[in-house]
Amino acid sequence: MTVAEKPWSGRFTASTNEFVEAFTASVDFDQRLYAYDIMGSIAHAKMLAKVGVLTEQECQQIVTGLEEIEQEIEQGQFQWSVSLEDVHMNIESRLTAKIGIVGKKLHTGRSRNDQVATDIRLYLRHEIDLIIAELNRLLTALADVAEREAATIMPGFTHLQSAQPITFGHHLLAWCEMLLRDRGRLQDCRKRVNAMPLGAAALAGTTYPIDRAYSAELLGFDTVASNSLDAVSDRDFAIEFTSDAALLMMHMSRFSEELVLWSSAQFDFIELSDAFCTGSSIMPQKKNPDVPELVRGKTGRVYGHLHSLLTLMKSQPLAYNKDNQEDKEPLFDVVDTIRGSLKVYADMIPGLQVKADNMRQAAKAGFTTATDLADYLVRKGVPFRDAHEVVGKAVRHCIDNKCDLPDLELSILKGFSDVIEQDVFEVLTLEGSVAARNHFGGTAPEQVKQAVQRLKAQL
The answer, yes or no, to whether the previous bond of 319 is cis (omega within 30 of 0) is yes
Lowest mean pLDDT: which of 195-209, 268-282, 351-365, 375-389?
A: 268-282
Residues 6+ apart with CB under 8 A from 76: none
CATH hierarchy code of domain 119-148+164-197+225-360: 1.20.200.10
Count the helices and strands in the chain (H runs, E runs).
Answer: 19, 6
Query: What is the tens place of the pLDDT at every residue in 304-317?
Result: 999 999 999 999 99
**Rounded CA separation 384/260 (Å):** 38
The pLDDT of residue 254 = 98
Same fold across 3-108 and 364-458: no
| Fold adopted by 3-108 | Fumarase C; Chain B, domain 1 (1.10.275)
* pLDDT tens-place string over residues 423-443: 999 888 999 999 999 999 999
pLDDT reported for residue 3: 45
In percent, the amount of the chain with pLDDT more than 70 equals: 97
- pLDDT for residue 14 is more than 80: no
CATH superfamily of 364-458: Fumarase/aspartase (C-terminal domain) (1.10.40.30)
d(CA 123, CA 386): 62
- How far apart are the C-alpha atoms of 376 and 122, rounded to whole Å? 59
Is there a contact between 141 and 350 (Cβ–Cβ < 8 Å)? yes
What confidence tier does 109 reach under pLDDT thresholds 50, 70, 90?
Answer: very high
Domain ranges of the chain: 3-108, 119-148+164-197+225-360, 364-458
Please tell me which residue, 164 or 15, carries the higher pLDDT value.
164
**Mean pLDDT for the stretch of residues 386-415:** 92
Say if residues 302 and 337 touch (Cβ distance below 8 Å).
Answer: yes
The stretch 377-394 carries a mean pLDDT of: 94
Collapse the DSSP code of 223 into the 3-class scheme (helix H, G, I; strand E, B; otherwise coil) and give the result.
Answer: strand
Residue 10 has what pLDDT? 63
Query: Residue 280 catalytic?
Result: yes
Q: Of these residues, 226, 280, 307, 439, which one is catalytic?
A: 280
What pLDDT, on a 0 to 100 scale, did the predictor assign at position 4? 44
Query: Quick one: average pLDDT of 328-334?
Result: 97
CA–CA gap between residue 226 and residue 234 (Å, rounded): 12
Say what the pLDDT of residue 11 is: 66
What residues contact residue 78 under an 8 Å CB cut-off, 6+ apart? 69, 72, 90, 94
DSSP 8-state class, residue 287: -
Flag whether pLDDT at 381 surpasses 80. yes
Q: Tell me the per-residue pLDDT of 233-291, one tens digit each, with 9 for 90 and over.
A: 999 999 999 999 999 999 999 999 999 999 999 999 999 999 998 887 788 787 899 99
- With a cut of 60, say whether residue 8 has pLDDT above it: no
| Average pLDDT score over the chain | 94
pLDDT value for 42: 98
Query: Rounded distance, CA 93 to CA 100, Å?
Result: 10
Look at residue 95 and tell me whether its pLDDT is greater than 50: yes
CB 186 within 8 A of CB 130: no
Write down the pLDDT at residue 30: 94
Are 78 and 94 contacting, i.e. CB atoms less than 8 angstroms apart? yes
Q: pLDDT band at residue 6, thresholds of 50, 70 and 90?
A: low
pLDDT value, residue 20: 76
Among 159, 281, 315, 411, the one annotated catalytic: 159
CB 121 within 8 A of CB 97: no
